Each structure stands twice: as C-alpha cells, then as structure tokens.
Chains A and B, each alone.
Chain A
C-alpha cells in the first residue's frame, strides 16, 4: 500500500459526459501528480500541483483540468469525454517534488462508451 488513495477504482461513462477523479496523497506529501496511461501511449504526465499551486503542465488536454485543495487532496476533471480518453489515470504524491521518490496510487480505470 503506497498510502495514495484514488477513487473511484473504475468508472464507466458515455461520450460527452464529465467525470471527476479524486486523489488523496500520502500524509505530509505536498506534491501531487496526475498521469494518464493508455495502451498506445504509455504513461503520460498530465499535471503537477505543489501545496495548492499548479507547478507543471504536461500533455494535458484543454478539456481536462485539475486542482489541489487546502487539505492537499486533488481532483482531476475530465469533460466532453471521447472514446480516446479511456485509460488508467494515476495519481502520485511526493514530499516536495524534488529527487525523493514518488508514491503512486492504484489508479482509476476510466472507460468511455
């Protein structure tokens, strides 16, 4: 158990819909990262937050947004969903976002039908 909790574990929704994925980082970790893993793209970095502020952006679509709340949990919002958004979405956390290890959750499997 990494200490990072992601909910829900599975999500099935229709095209055009909007969903919210939730991540609770390890206690004390200030940095949260979101990754998308699809079969043909591998693990793609989406976005990072540090203590409530956006720190870095990767290959995140404009239809996607995220935030980190004062209690340090984070949410990833995916809207106008397309079939190609079906993937595993991982959240990771680390203490400061430096060279220390990152701890990954078990992921949310999103299926868009």
Chain B
C-alpha cells in the first residue's frame, strides 16, 4: 500500500485556519487521497477525499499538489471540537483504508 507521511503533531489557535500537510511521493495514478479524523474516544470519521482537483465540503478543503505527491487538509476556522488525530490515506478502488499514525491536532483556546 502506498505510504503517506504526516507530522506527528500540530497546534493551532482556536478560530484560526489550520493546514495539515501530507506527503505521498509514491502515489499512483489511481490512488485517491482520503482524510479521516478520530476524535477522542470515538471511531474514525470521514472528512474529505479527492483525486486531482481541490475539493471543498462543509468540514474542510483539500488542496492537492499538481504532481499529486503532496496534499494539504485545510480547516478554515479551528474549533475545540476539531482537536483530533487526522489521517491521510491513499486508497485505490475497492481497496481498504490503511491508517498510518496520523497528525494529532491540538487546538488552543
């Protein structure tokens, strides 16, 4: 399975934007980039996914580099509820989600 690299942890002030980076230099043409997050004591939660173009939804935006070797999850205004571990995952077709270690986001009030 293609590998992703994320920082172990990041901090953000409440109500400020957060940019969570992910490197995936071995991504293949058929890999989609998925982001999930896991809040404390909960199961993982889907955030967003994309292939080549930038994507927006009610939770976040996903910016994908032109060469697709990296991507950035953008939370436009961090809230305390956004404190979680964020996972960047490459997924091909019906293959499963293989979770790495993710980035632990701390939101400072």
A110 to chain B, nearest CB (A): 15
- What A residues does B43 contact at CB under 8 A? 2, 4, 90, 92, 104-107
B45, B46, B93, B101: the one contacting A42 at CB < 8 Å is: B101
- B32 to A, closest residue via Cβ: A99
Interface residues in A77-113 by Cβ distance below 8 A to B read 90, 92, 96-99, 101-107
Instruction: Report the interface size for chain B: residues with CB under 8 A from the other chain.
Output: 21
Interface residues in B54-102 by Cβ distance below 8 A to A read 87, 91, 93-102
**Interface size bracket, A side:** 20 to 34
Taking a contact as CB atoms under 8 Å apart, the answer to whether A56 and B96 are in contact is yes
Binary interface encoding of chain B residues 4-42 relative to chain A, with 1 for a CB under 8 A from any of its CBs, else 0: 000000000000000000000000000010100010001
Given A2-B43, A90-B43, A92-B43 in contact, is the A58-B96 Cβ separation under 8 Å?
A: yes
- What A residues does B93 contact at CB under 8 A? 98-99
Q: Does A45 contact B (CB under 8 A)?
A: yes
Chain B interface helix/strand/loop/mixed = loop
B5 to chain A, nearest CB (A): 15
Taking a contact as CB atoms under 8 Å apart, the answer to whether B98 and A2 are in contact is no
B44, B95, B99: the one contacting A56 at CB < 8 Å is: B95
Taking a contact as CB atoms under 8 Å apart, the answer to whether A104 and B44 are in contact is yes
List chain A positions with a Cβ less than 8 A from chain B: 2, 4, 33, 35, 42-45, 48, 50, 55-56, 58, 90, 92, 96-99, 101-107
List chain B positions with a Cβ less than 8 A from chain A: 32, 34, 38, 42-46, 49, 87, 91, 93-102
The 8 closest A-B pairs by CB, nearest first: A104-B43, A101-B46, A43-B99, A97-B94, A104-B44, A90-B43, A45-B96, A99-B32
CB-defined A-B contacts under 8 Å, sample of 30: A2-B43, A2-B45, A4-B43, A33-B96, A42-B99, A42-B100, A42-B102, A43-B44, A43-B99, A45-B96, A45-B97, A45-B98, A45-B99, A48-B96, A55-B94, A58-B98, A90-B43, A92-B44, A92-B97, A96-B94, A97-B94, A98-B93, A98-B94, A99-B49, A102-B97, A104-B43, A104-B45, A105-B43, A106-B42, A107-B43
